[in-house]
């Protein structure tokens, strides 16, 4: 039984991270109607930038508690990621707003490659170790035999806090209203006095900041970074957004957590379920299977949103 609880914990940690990234996809889809293919790379940039900043801080200071250093580095990292995301929109998407559908998608793929290459040049082609600044010794959970580490608790708690903050922003503030209006109908929103370009930029920046946070979390959790680290989490987070209902914030959060659980439990139990034919080495497939199944059988996702065909 403690394995089950352990897999649940593993799944929640993964899921929290996916949820943060999925929010970026879903917000952009809401206001622009496109999938930001380059979103995963923003995550990677976040991890890389934070690595450099951490190395710098660790060199300069010696007395500060490690979690404080992380806390100081985080806002800078998120700001940089917001900037990168803003740049992506201005360079790869805005000029192509009226182009045929394929164009922004291909441009985004190019952007994704470009960002990876820039990371390769600035940092390194090879994986780098990330400083362990959060406690990673196992803590027993209610004497059940399952364990969780300090850093995992931090990840889950921070993710929940940030998600609540975002929900508050979108539901209760003027900016949030503007975002929802733009997502509903851009032209009418413009007539109402909302500046759609500004809203779109802010949306990208918010999503970028969240991705940057997620990047730091992934790096802290696994202890290493490399230029390709954003791609697979990005893809899985996109699946999570679709699973929850793309364009729907709560959907992205739910989808993220669900996908994390599906992956963990799936990888843990697939061996037993299939009698040893498939093992945990098929872990990565779950996200793709979920994606295909959702799009074929329930394209609107769990919390429902139109996958409209904008001709």
Partner 1 sequence: MLKVIAFNRLSQTAYLCLGLLALILLPWLVGFTGGNYWVRVLDFALLYIVLALGLNVVVGFAGLLDLGYIAFYALGAYSFALLASPHLPQQFESVAAVFPEGMHFSPWMVAVFSIILAALFGIILGLPTLQLRGDYLAIVTLGFGEIIRIFMNNLDRPLNLTNGPKGITAIDPIQFLGISFAKPLDLGFVQIPGLYLVFYLFLLLAIAVAIICTHLQNSRIGRAWVAIREDEIAAKAMGINTRNMKLLAFAIGASFAGVAGVLFSAFQGFVSPESFTLWESIVILAMVVLGGIGHIPGVILGAVVLAVFPEVLRAIVQPLQNVIFGHVLIDAEVIRQLIYGLALILIMLYRPGGIWQKSGTK
Partner 2 sequence: MMNSKASKVIFIKSAIAIVTASVILAGCGKGGDRAAAIPADAVEVKIGHVAPLTGHIAHLGKDNENGARLAVEEINKSGLTIDGKKVVLTLVPEDDAEDPKTATQVAQKLVDAKVAGVVGHLNSGTSIPASKIYSDAGITQISPSATNPDYTKQGFKTTYRVVATDAQQGPALANYVVNTLKAKTVAIIDDSTQYGKGLADEFEKAVQAAGVKVVTREASHNKATDFKAILTKVKGSKPDVIMYGGMDATGGPLTKQAAELGIPAKVVGGDGMCTEKLSELAGDAVMNVTCSEAGMALSKMAQGADFQKRYKERFNLEVQNYAPFTYDAVYVLVDAMKRANSTDPAKILVVMPDTKLNGLVGNIAFDSKGDLKEGVITLYDFKTKKKTVLDVIKL
Question: Which residues are near partner 2 by CB under 8 A?
Answer: 2-3, 6-7, 10, 14, 125-127, 129, 132, 136-138, 140, 147, 149, 222-224, 229, 263-264, 267-268, 271, 279-281, 283
Q: Give whichever of 58 and 302 is closer to partner 1, judged by the CB atom.
A: 302
Check binding of 304 to partner 1 (CB under 8 A). Answer: no
- 163: exposed, middle or buried (C-beta count within 10 Å: 0-12, 13-18, 19+)? buried
Q: Where are the beta strands (DSSP E) in 39-111?
A: none
Binder among 63, 174, 187, 310 for partner 1 (CB under 8 A): 310
Best CA proximity match to 282, nearest among 296, 263, 295, 258 = 263
Residue 122 CB, shortest distance to partner 1, in Å, is: 11
| 270 vs 268: CA distance, rounded Å | 6
Return the one option of partner 2, partner 1, none that residue 291 interacts with (CB less than 5 to 8 A, by type): partner 1
How many helices, marked H, and strands, marked E, lie in the chain?
A: 11, 4
Return the one option of partner 2, partner 1, none that residue 158 interacts with (CB less than 5 to 8 A, by type): none
CB under 8 A: which stretch of 44-52, 147-155, 202-210, 277-285 binds partner 1? Answer: 277-285
Check binding of 56 to partner 1 (CB under 8 A). Answer: no
Under 8 Å CB-to-CB from 229, ≥6 apart: which residues?
43, 44, 47, 215, 218, 219
Check binding of 117 to partner 1 (CB under 8 A). Answer: yes
Binder among 145, 223, 279, 304 for partner 1 (CB under 8 A): 279
Check binding of 273 to partner 1 (CB under 8 A). Answer: no
CA count, 13 A, side-chain hemisphere, 12: 18
Under 8 Å CB-to-CB from 161, ≥6 apart: which residues?
none
Check binding of 127 to partner 1 (CB under 8 A). Answer: no
CB under 8 A: which stretch of 7-15, 73-81, 249-257, 279-287 binds partner 1? Answer: 279-287
Under 8 Å CB-to-CB from 249, ≥6 apart: which residues?
23, 26, 27, 166, 167, 170
Residue 92 CB, shortest distance to partner 1, in Å, is: 6
Binder among 291, 301, 303, 305 for partner 1 (CB under 8 A): 291
Residue 54 CB, shortest distance to partner 2, in Å, is: 15
Q: Residue 191: count other Cβ atoms within 10 Å of its Cβ.
A: 9
């Amino acid at each position: 039984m403690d394995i089950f609880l352990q897999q649940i914990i593993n799944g929640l940690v993964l899921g929290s991270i996916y949820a943060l990234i999925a929010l970026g996809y879903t917000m952009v889809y809401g206001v622009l109607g496109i999938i930001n293919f380059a979103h995963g790379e923003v995550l990677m940039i976040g991890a890389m930038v934070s690595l450099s900043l951490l190395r710098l801080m660790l060199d300069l200071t010696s007395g500060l508690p490690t979690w404080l250093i992380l806390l100081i580095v985080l806002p800078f990292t998120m700001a940089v990621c917001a900037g990168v995301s803003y740049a992506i929109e201005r360079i790869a998407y805005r000029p192509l707003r009226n182009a045929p559908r394929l164009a922004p998608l291909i441009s985004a793929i190019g952007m994704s490659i470009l960002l990876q290459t820039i990371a390769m040049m600035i940092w390194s082609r090879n994986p780098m170790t990330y400083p362990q600044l959060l406690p990673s010794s196992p803590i027993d959970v209610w004497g059940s035999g399952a364990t969780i580490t300090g850093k995992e608790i931090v990840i889950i708690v921070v993710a929940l806090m940030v998600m609540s903050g975002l929900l508050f922003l979108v539901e209760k503030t003027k900016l949030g209203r503007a975002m929802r209006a733009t997502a509903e109908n851009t032209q009418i929103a413009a007539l109402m006095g909302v500046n759609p370009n500004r809203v779109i930029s802010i949306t990208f920046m918010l999503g970028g900041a969240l991705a940057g946070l997620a990047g730091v979390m992934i790096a802290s959790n696994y202890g290493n970074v490399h230029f390709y680290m954003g791609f697979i989490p990005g893809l899985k987070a996109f699946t999570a957004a679709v699973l929850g209902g793309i364009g729907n914030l709560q959907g992205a959060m739910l989808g993220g957590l669900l996908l994390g659980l599906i992956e963990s439990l799936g990888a843990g139990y697939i061996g037993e379920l299939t009698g040893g034919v498939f093992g945990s080495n098929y872990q990565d497939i779950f996200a793709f299977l979920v994606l295909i199944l959702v799009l074929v059988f329930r394209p609107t996702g769990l919390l429902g949103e139109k996958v409209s065909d904008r001709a």
